[in-house]
Each structure stands twice: as C-alpha cells, then as structure tokens.
Amino acid sequence: MTKELKHYINGQWVESSAPNKLDIINPATREVIAKAPNAPKDVTVEAIKVARRTFESGIWSDQSPQERAAVLLQIADVIEENIDELRDLEVENNGKTKREAQSDAEEAASTFRYYAGLLNMPNGQTYEAPGDMQTLIVKEPMGVAGLIVPWNFPLLMSVWKIAPALAAGNSILLKPAEITPMTAVKLFELMDQTDLPKGVANLVLGSGSIVGQTIAESHDVDVVSFTGSTGVGRLIMQAATGNMKKVSLELGGKSPNIIFDDADLETAVDYALFGIFMGSGQVCSSGSRILVQEGIYDKFVEKYVEKAKGIRVGHGNDERSQMGAIVSEKHFESILNYIEIGKEEGANLALGGNRVVRDGLEKGFFIEPTVFTHVTSDMRIVREEIFGPVVAIQKFTDEEEAVKIANDTEYGLAGAVFSTDQNKALRVIKRVRAGITWVNAYHLTNIQAPWGGYKQSGIGRSLSTYGLDEYQETKQININLAPEPVRWFD
Ligand code: NAP
Ligand code: MG
C-alpha cells in the first residue's frame, strides 16, 4: 500500500483536500512509494500564520535556552532510535547508498546535539563604554523561519536548518523538495513525540513555485533559509524584498580540486574520486573540476580512470553498491544531456557516459561514473553545474595558472589542493575563492565549522555558531550604570 503523505500544521496531520497528488518515486526501481499532496497557497499561508502565532505566544521563544536544549536532545534521541528507518527511507526515496544515508542520519542526530550544546554556552558580548555605560549585545530569535530544502540530502539539509532555527527560539515552516518528502515527514512524526510545543514546527508539502514562493514572499516570515540552485536562489532573494526578510542561501558550485606534481598520487586519486562520485555527484560541494599539473597528468588520468571503472553502481539498499541512483528521471535526462554536450564540445570521454542497464538496474536512473579529459575552461561541462557523476579533468602548468583556472567560475563553494609541500598547499588554498576548502582531503567536514559559499554559491553560513547567527537578531542594550541627566541642552 502506498503511503498517503500529509502536511503537519499546528501539531496536526492535515489531509489535503486537493485531488491532485504527486507520485513519490523510488529512483532505483521507478516504483511509486507514496502519494504527496501539493499544497495550494492558502494552506501555506495558514501554516505561516500558525508559526507566527506560536512565535508571538512565547511558548517556545520565551523558554530558557536550557529548556530548548532539552527538547533538541529529545529530538536527537528519537532520530537515533529510528536511525535504520530514516536511513532506509532516504535510500528508497533519494536513491543514495545505505552507507551514505546512514552517515546522513547519524549527522542529523549530531546536529541537534551540537545546537543543544551551544544553548548551554554563554552567547553574546559585553562592552564597557565611556560614561558608565555598560553595553550588552544579545541575541534574539528572528521570528518565523521559512526553510526550503533540496532533494540531494533531504533529511540532513532539513536538519541543518531546523536545529539552529529551533535552537534560536524561532517557529518554523519546512518545505522539502517536492520529490523527496519521505524523511522530512518521518522527522516530523518523530518531533511530534517530543516536548516541542505544537505549532512551533510546521511542514508543508508541495511545489517550489507555490509553497516555496509563498514562503519567500510572505511578510509573516522573517528569515528564509534556502538550499538549492543559484537560479532559484535569485528568485528567492527577489521575493524576499517585500518585507526585507533575511535570506540565507546555500547554492550551487563547480568546485576545483587542484593536484600538484608533488602530491601523494594514491591519496589524490582516492579523494578526487570521493570528491565527485560520492552521492553520484549530486552534492553541491562536489569536486567536479579536477586540475592536474602537467608532470603527473597522464599518470593521474590513467590511475583515476582505472579506479573509477571499478566503482560498483547499484541499488542503494544493496550493501555492495558504492554509487546509487540519480534522484529523478528529469535530473537523469539532464545529466545525460550534459554528457552529450561534452562530447559535442570536443572533450575526450575517457570513461563512462552511459546509463547503466545491467542486471536489475534497467528500470532505475543509473549513470556510469563519467570522466572527461582534455577539457578547456570555456566548455559548458567545465562552467556549468551538472550535479551528477561527471568530472572534467584539466591540465595546468604552474601555481599561478592553477589559481587562475580554479577561480575562473561564477561559483565559490568548495575547493581542494593536493601537494606534499605544505607551504605551497596553504599558499594556494588561501587564494581559492571558496568557503569550504581542504588540503590533501575532500568532503570531510564537521558540524563545528561554517558551511557556505563565496560569489554565486550563496549568502550566509550553515552549521557552527555562524549557522545559529543566521536565525538570530542582534540587539544592543546600553545600560547607564550611574543615571544622571545628560545635559545636552543645558
Ligand atoms: P532547486 O530547483 O533550486 O530546488 C530547491 C528547493 O527550492 C526545492 O524545495 C524546490 O521545490 C524549491 N523551489 C523551486 N522553485 C522555487 C521558487 N520559485 N521559490 C521558492 N522555492 C523554490 O534545486 P534542486 O534542483 O532541487 O537541487 C539541485 C541544486 O541545488 C543544485 O544546483 C545544487 O548545487 C544545489 N544544492 C546546493 C547545496 C548547498 O549546500 N549549497 C546543497 C544541495 C543542493 P521543488 O522541489 O518543488 O522544485
Ligand atoms: Mg527544482
């Protein structure tokens, strides 16, 4: 039986009255796993009103940080108790591997724990100003936070936003990607079992153009936090101007992975594979451009292609699979189209390029690990975000050229340098205009560090203390410690 999904508004599961339901698909099999409502504008507006009311009631925002922390820890607990189910739902709906989904679910619990921990820390600043003035700089919740997330990390992206937004004392409305609502619905079922007051956290399922747009435009929403494409980010920023709401945008990338001649070859090849093929390349921070210095270019390409050939593509729930499905037919077609563009542009297709149809994969959306070499900076496959298992390997001669190619992009999300010369590595990574970077590694980050991009990769940061700031107002309170008239007009 396919599950009928519902909205969660004011602590109630709300059935949709509209007859048109969206089929939620397992991208590995094309089976329909659930039916989701497509909320009209009025349902979204109602959910925003509920969030506004609960915020203003103080039922959550006036609780002490310790009390809010206790609830966040309850949420972490229920996530952990249900980790297998969350993992399996993510595999079923998104197509990623079990190992990837397991790591997402674990990080989801850790993120709630981290923000619970921050709530037990002092927050703010003080300053002793002249004239016996004591200044307190305090943080307060913004109000209503609208949270719009993509399909590539449906659970984790939701949690990266929900945990700090709730920690700060906001009320929230979450809109998952239309095609991947399963783990968000489960997360709200779990949060419903905790002491989080009703109406503080709301969930509305539906399209970006209606639900997302309504959130971005609403004058009752004080901050909109969005993760997704740069194009939609631009629309959100425009829609946000009506009430000057704060915007926090985590957008696309085309991140460079720079490999110098003196790099440890095995390590560089390994991370360069992990950098693009993890999550089938549907990761905003993917290292989709590999820049290799001319001295090891041929050797690197040979080893890289040989290793990439061995990646086992398959059903996410098959323990042997190392790379799962592409999330949807539409996205699958878009990636295959980019592969055609790469061929037409004259790049050398060194590996892959096809859908995978072998043993039981013929119904799903699977694409081979695909490697293009001999690419140039003007090619579309080098400039545009493909968001799939497609990597472009480019040659450079020296440090100066590596930096120039690396920064020759409108994006600035992530980047890495591989070299055994630590001075050079640090020198170069400091010149890469990106927010998330590595030396001799890729993709390994932690909740304690801020996540976000330069240039058109976004505005603001997720995670860490910076991630909490996104959901807080900052107020100065100036206290006169020796009150007497100021006598300005005497
Ligand atoms: P997307 O089309 O931008 O969608 C992201 C979310 O925005 C979805 O929930 C979507 O709803 C919603 N949306 C669409 N149109 C909207 C509108 N006019 N107003 C408000 N919301 C709207 O992105 P995607 O195709 O799902 O995901 C792929 C892209 O996301 C890639 O470009 C990738 O780089 C980026 N991404 C970035 C990060 C990061 O951390 N920087 C992380 C993940 C993904 P629907 O589901 O109805 O379309
Ligand atoms: Mg979309």
Q: Which residue is it, tokens 């290793």? A: 307
pLDDT mean across residues, the chain: 97
Q: What is the pLDDT of residues 62-98, one digit of tens each?
A: 999 999 999 999 999 999 999 999 999 999 999 999 9
CB 171 within 8 A of CB 142: no
Residue 451 CA: which ligand 1 atom is closest? 40
What's the 228 CA to ligand 1 centre distance in angstroms?
Answer: 3
Which ligand 1 atom lies nearest to the CA of residue 151? 26
- 148, 411, 445, 461: which to mutate for ligand 1, most atoms within 8 A of CB? 148
Place of tokens 């249900």: 82
Distance, in Å, from the CA atom of 151 to the CA atom of 149, rounded to the nearest integer, reads 7
Render pLDDT for 362-406 as a digit per residue (tens, 0 to 9).
999 999 999 999 999 999 999 999 999 999 999 999 999 999 999
Ligand 1 in reach of 460 Cβ (< 6 A): no
pLDDT bin (cut points 50, 70, 90) of residue 192 is very high
Q: Which residues contact 236 (CB under 8 A, 6 or more apart)?
A: 148, 212, 216, 224, 226, 247, 249
Per-residue pLDDT, 1: 66
- The residues, ordered by sequence, that sit 6+ positions from 337 with a Cβ below 8 Å of its Cβ are none
What is the rounded distance in angstroms from the CA atom of residue 396 to the CA atom of residue 294?
6
Per-residue pLDDT, 16: 81
CB of 286 within 8 A of CB of 442?
no
The span from the CA of 117 to the CA of 167, in Å, is: 10
Rg (Cα) of the chain, in Å, rounded? 24
User: Ligand 2 centre from 205 Cα, in Å?
Assistant: 14
Q: Which residue, 134, 166, 126, 130, is CA-closest to 147?
A: 166
Query: Annotated active-site positions, please?
Result: 250, 284
Position in ligand 1 atom list of the atom nearest CA 253: 34
What span, in angstroms and rounded, lies between the C-alpha atoms of 42 and 112? 31
According to the model, what pLDDT value does residue 366 have? 98
Q: How many angstroms separate the alpha carbon of residue 330 from the centre of ligand 2?
A: 10
Q: In what order do the strands lie in the sheet with 458-459?
A: 12-14, 7-9, 201-203, 171-175, 144-148, 223-227, 246-250, 458-459
Find out whether the beta carbon of 228 lies less than 6 Å from any atom of ligand 1. yes
* Residue 227, CB-side half-sphere exposure with 13 Å CA sphere: 27
CA of 299 to the centre of ligand 1 (A): 38
Ligand 1 atom at shortest distance from the alpha carbon of 178: 46
User: In this structure, are strands 171-175 and 144-148 parallel, antiparallel, or unpaired?
Assistant: parallel
Round to whole Å and give the CA distance between 95 and 98. 9
Q: Which pLDDT value is given to residue 406?
A: 98
Q: What is the pLDDT of residues 457-468, one digit of tens each?
A: 999 999 999 999
Task: Check pLDDT > 70 for residue 293.
Answer: yes
Report the percentage of the chain scoring pLDDT > 90. Answer: 97
Ligand approaching nearest to the C-alpha of 151: 1
User: Quick one: CA dihedral 105, 110, 116, 118, positive or negative?
Assistant: negative
From 362, 361, 272, select the one nearest 313 (Cα to Cα).
361
Q: Is 177 in the pocket of ligand 1 (CB under 6 A)?
A: yes
* CB-ligand 1 contact for 236 (6 Å cutoff): yes
Are 252 and 409 a contacting pair, CB within 8 Å? Answer: no
Which residues does residue 436 pair with via DSSP β-bridges, in sequence order?
A: 414
What residues are paired with 451 via a beta bridge?
462
* Residues contacting residue 488 through CB under 8 Å, at least 6 positions apart: none
Q: How far apart, in whole angstroms, are the C-alpha atoms of residue 470 and residue 164?
A: 8
Ligand 1 pocket residue status of 216, Cβ below 6 Å:
yes
Average pLDDT over residues 246-258: 97
Q: How many CB atoms lie within 10 A of CB 46?
A: 17
Ligand 1, atom 30: closest residue by C-alpha: 228
Pocket test for ligand 1, best of 94, 227, 436 (most atoms within 8 A of CB): 227
The answer on pLDDT for 19 being more than 80 is no
Task: Please state, as a whole number, how many other Cβ atoms lie within 10 Å of the Cβ of residue 261.
Answer: 17
Residue 20 binned pLDDT confidence (cut-offs 50, 70, 90): confident
List C-alpha distances in Å: 182 to 90, 176, 218, 229, 382. Answer: 7, 9, 26, 21, 33
Do 169 and 161 meet the contact criterion of CB atoms below 8 Å apart?
A: no
Nearest-atom index, ligand 1, CA of 252: 34
Any long-range contacts for 394-397 (C-beta under 8 Å, 24+ apart)? 394/289, 394/290, 394/291, 394/292, 395/291, 395/292, 395/293, 395/294, 395/297, 396/258, 396/291, 396/292, 396/293, 396/294, 397/293, 397/294
Using a 6 Å cutoff on CB, does residue 434 contact ligand 1?
no
State pLDDT tens for residues 335-373: 999 999 999 999 999 999 999 998 899 999 999 999 999
Residue 200 tokens, joined: 């503080």
| Nearest residue by C-alpha to atom 42 in ligand 1 | 284
Whole-number Å distance between alpha carbons of 44 and 202: 10
- Spacing, Cα 232 to ligand 1 middle (Å): 6
Closest among 183, 153, 203 to 88, alpha carbons compared: 183
